[in-house]
């Protein structure tokens, strides 16, 4: 019986076939070698992440101050609050009566309709409303009310 002898041939296909047939490199004992089989490497799939939620920016007022030359409901004026990244309701407050910058007795402010407040002048004086938005951000709305008396002081 003739021993099977394997020679390097044209490529991997023939090399693999020769190994499967049980060839040895120099006509040897006919022992078999297990062909190389690559181990699959798992590919990890990236987990999508959510875009970060931006914190609301500064509260902006348009206008930043209101000046009145008379009092009463017919003289009321609107003021609009804006804040990037904030879609809830704004709130308005002022210092307690008798405290510096208190609007008590000088002007009133309505609850917002959307983001617009209505300020109504009540009596002469200067005061500040604090408009609050999201993320602890606030803006000061300065109010000045003056009145004049016809015919003098």
pLDDT in tens, 95-105: 999 999 999 99
Question: Where residue 13 falls among pLDDT bands split at 50, 70, 90?
Answer: very low
Return d(Cα 95, Cα 104) in angstroms, integer. Answer: 8
Question: Where residue 54 falls among pLDDT bands split at 50, 70, 90?
Answer: low
15 has pLDDT over 70: no
Asked if 23 and 72 sit in the same domain, the reply is no
Write down the pTM of the prediction: 0.63
Which range marks the domain in which residue 1 is found?
Answer: 1-36
Mean pLDDT along residues 146-152? 77
Q: Is residue 94 part of a domain?
A: yes
Asked if 131 and 64 sit in the same domain, the reply is yes
Q: Is residue 150 part of a domain?
A: no
Asked if 31 and 64 sit in the same domain, the reply is no
Asked if 3 and 68 sit in the same domain, the reply is no
Q: Is residue 152 part of a domain?
A: no
Question: Where residue 36 falls among pLDDT bands split at 50, 70, 90?
Answer: confident
116 has pLDDT over 60: yes
Return d(Cα 124, Cα 119) in angstroms, integer. Answer: 14
Asked if 133 and 65 sit in the same domain, the reply is yes
Asked if 64 and 27 sit in the same domain, the reply is no
Asked if 25 and 83 sit in the same domain, the reply is no
Asked if 73 and 139 sit in the same domain, the reply is yes
Asked if 86 and 133 sit in the same domain, the reply is yes
Residue 11, burial from CB neighbour count under 10 angstroms (0-12, 13-18, 19+): exposed
Q: What is the domain-level CATH number for residue 108? A: 2.60.40.1080
Q: Is residue 91 part of a domain?
A: yes
Return d(Cα 8, Cα 15) in angstroms, integer. Answer: 7
Q: Is residue 32 part of a domain?
A: yes
Asked if 27 and 77 sit in the same domain, the reply is no
How many domains is the chain built from? 2
């Amino acid at each position: 019986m003739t021993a099977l002898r394997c020679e390097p041939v044209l490529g991997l296909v023939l090399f693999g076939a020769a190994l499967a047939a049980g060839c040895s490199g120099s006509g040897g004992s006919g022992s078999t070698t297990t062909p190389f089989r690559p181990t699959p490497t798992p590919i990890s799939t990236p987990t999508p992440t959510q875009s970060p939620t931006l914190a609301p920016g500064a509260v902006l007022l348009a206008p930043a101050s209101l000046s009145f030359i008379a009092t009463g409901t017919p003289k009321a004026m609107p003021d609009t609050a804006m804040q990037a990244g904030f879609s809830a309701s704004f709130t308005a407050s002022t210092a307690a009566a008798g405290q510096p910058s208190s609007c008590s007795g000088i002007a009133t402010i309505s609850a917002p309709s959307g983001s617009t407040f209505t300020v109504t002048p009540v009596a002469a004086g200067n005061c500040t409303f604090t408009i609050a938005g999201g993320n602890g951000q606030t803006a000061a709305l300065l109010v000045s009310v003056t009145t004049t008396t016809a015919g003098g002081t």
